[in-house]
Amino acid sequence: MKMKKGSKKRGSNFESFNPLENKTILLGVSGGIAAYKACDIASLLRRSGASVHAVLTPNAREFITPLSLTTITRNQTHCEQYGPTADWRPEHIDLAKKCDLILIAPATADIIAKLATGICDDLLTTMVLASQAKVMIAPAMNPVMLQHPATQHNLSILENRYRYDIVAPEYGEVACGDVGLGKMAAVESIIAAVAARLLAHQTLSTKRVLVTAGGTREPIDPVRFIGNRSSGKMGIAMADSAYSRGADVTLISTVDVERAYPVIVVETAQEMQEAVEAEFDSCDALVMTAAVADFRPLAVSAQKIKKTESEDIVLELTKNPDIIDLLGRVKRKDQVIIGFAAESEALLSNAASKLKRKNLDMIVGNDISVPDIGFGSDDNAVVILSAEGTRESLPRMPKRAIADHICDLLSERFQVLEKELAH
Ligand code: CTP
């Protein structure tokens, strides 16, 4: 973050603080009642030093005028897709190319659907498609519209696209008087999310980070498998977080996701072992978020097992390789290994013993008996133990926030290692 020199507030000894100086933000406003808050958002962004350019959808113009936003941003507001232009290349196409971030606040169910499917029938959606910048959306709508399977599906599509960040809506009374989840996030939360996205420090820019995600599936026959409840969300959040800090990331996952970094999709523990071992030597950190099956069927039936064959069947299982344990034995001094432990009892002692037994630098433990968090959820609450004996508890928070914190600890660990190895 930079302090702008020479611009003192009148009557104050403090220099004004322009953390977003040199950042260009395209503020997209779609047509919902929360559009009036776009003025506050534009004003706060501008006062944080950003150059803000507003784009209104035709429906947004029913709620707010271009003149308000032009006055607040001190830049021309764009509305018309086919309006007259002073230059041969419309300014808004330049903007789409050069902006650091596109923030859409409020984002209605309609624009979310358009972004999920690639429809570009107005200026804003066209600019999003013409841009490679990150897109942050702040949904705002009636709670029933938000919970509608179509909206949830569209949001999950965007969530899984690397370019998109969603500033979750809040619970409260919405304009039509209904109470529920759907109120646009507070203006301050949106500004904080923008700042976090634009100012994320590139603390892992020299590092190669290997992350595993998801639960392995161990086949029984061509249709059945032994699996577990892991959704892969924590591992994907870890990979995204490391990537946003500049790391050269490879994700080895049982869940296929579209990302800007390489994603190697595997199914079984043995496939995961093979993929991790092939990459391990060249990586600086291994983050084993995956839930690896400890056992697999000894024999996989080539044909579908028929229920008519016998009354009972006995599955003989054999142990899978413990990937992290094997790599913990051969890791170099400059490498860091982070494990995860999902425990149903004795969280601290079980996590601590795995940390030691598997020669890890850090272990992230969570208590799976706590309802509504962990497997499949977007949130978790964890305790992080380190080989140096530190212990830190993170209360319930989004998995991405936990991942960001773990990446901070990883960066610190690298700094310590680099100092130690220099002596
Ligand atoms: N792990 C692994 N290979 C396995 C099993 C686990 O690499 N075959 C890794 C996981 O990715 C995780 C850590 O080991 O980072 C701890 O996983 P967990 O299943 O909690 O540990 P286990 O040693 O399998 O212990 P438990 O008996 O509790 O299952």
Orientation angle between helical segments 149-159 and 109-117, nearest 10 degrees? 50
Residue 8 has pLDDT above 50, yes or no: no
User: 252 C-alpha to center of ligand 1: Å?
Assistant: 16
Residues of the chain with CATH 3.40.50.10300: 204-422
Pocket probe mutation, ligand 1, options 253, 271, 324, max atoms within 8 Å of Cβ: 324
Instruction: Give the model confidence (pLDDT) of 154-172 as tens digits.
Output: 999 998 776 899 999 999 9
Q: Give this prediction's pTM.
A: 0.66
Lookup result for tokens 């930079």:
2
How crowded is the C-beta side of 58, counted as CA atoms within 13 Å? 9
The two tokens of residue 211 are 């992350």
- From the CA of 320, give the closest atom in ligand 1: 8
Band (85; pLDDT cuts 50, 70, 90): low
Residues 280-308: pLDDT tens digits? 999 999 999 999 999 999 999 999 998 87
For 203-244, what is each residue's pLDDT tens digit? 898 999 999 999 999 999 999 999 999 999 999 999 989 988
If you average pLDDT over residues 109-131, what whole number do you get? 95
Nearest residue (CA) to ligand 1, atom 6: 292
Q: In the structure, what pLDDT confidence band is assigned to residue 278 with cuts at 50, 70 and 90?
A: very high
What pLDDT is recorded for position 28? 98
Annotated catalytic residue, options 79, 176, 283, 407: 176
Phi-psi region at 300: left, alpha or beta (left = phi > 0; alpha = psi -120 to 50): beta
Residue 291 alpha carbon, nearest atom of ligand 1: 11
What is the percent of the chain with per-residue pLDDT over 70, rounded to a whole number? Answer: 93
Index of the ligand 1 atom closest to the CA of residue 339? 15
Q: Could you say which DSSP state residue 52 is in?
A: E
Residues constituting the chain = 423
How far is Cα 358 from Cα 339, in angstroms, rounded to an integer? 9
Average pLDDT over residues 68-92: 83
- Averaged pLDDT, 138-150: 97
- The span from the CA of 137 to the CA of 140, in Å, is 9
Which residue owns the Cα nearest ligand 1 atom 27?
A: 294
Does domain 14-201 fall into CATH 3.40.50.1950?
Answer: yes
The residue nearest atom 9 of ligand 1, judged by CA position, is: 324
Give the percent of the chain with pLDDT over 90: 73
Domain with CATH 3.40.50.1950 in the chain: 14-201
In CATH, 204-422 is 3.40.50.10300: yes
Strand partners, 339: 288, 363
User: How close is the Cα of 408 to the center of ligand 1, in Å?
Assistant: 23
Residue nearest to atom 24 of ligand 1 (CA): 294
pLDDT digits (tens, 9 = 90+) for 295-351: 999 999 999 998 876 788 899 999 999 999 999 999 999 999 999 999 999 999 999
pLDDT of residue 177: 85
Mean pLDDT of the chain: 90
pLDDT(6) > 50: no
pLDDT of residue 5: 29
Residues having CB closer than 6 A to ligand 1 are 269, 288, 290, 292, 294, 320, 322-324, 339-342, 354
pLDDT in the model for residue 244? 81
Ligand 1 nearest atom to the CA of residue 324, by list position: 7
Averaged pLDDT, 384-401: 92
CA–centroid distance, 291 to ligand 1, in Å, is 7
The Cα-based distances of 198 to 49, 191, 195, 224, 272 in angstroms read 12, 10, 5, 45, 34
- Looking at residue 87, what is its pLDDT? 67
Among this protein's residues, is 176 annotated catalytic? yes
Q: What pLDDT does residue 309 have?
A: 67
| Ligand 1 pocket test target in 234, 288, 344, 375 with most atoms within 8 Å of CB | 288
CA of 294 to the centre of ligand 1 (A): 7
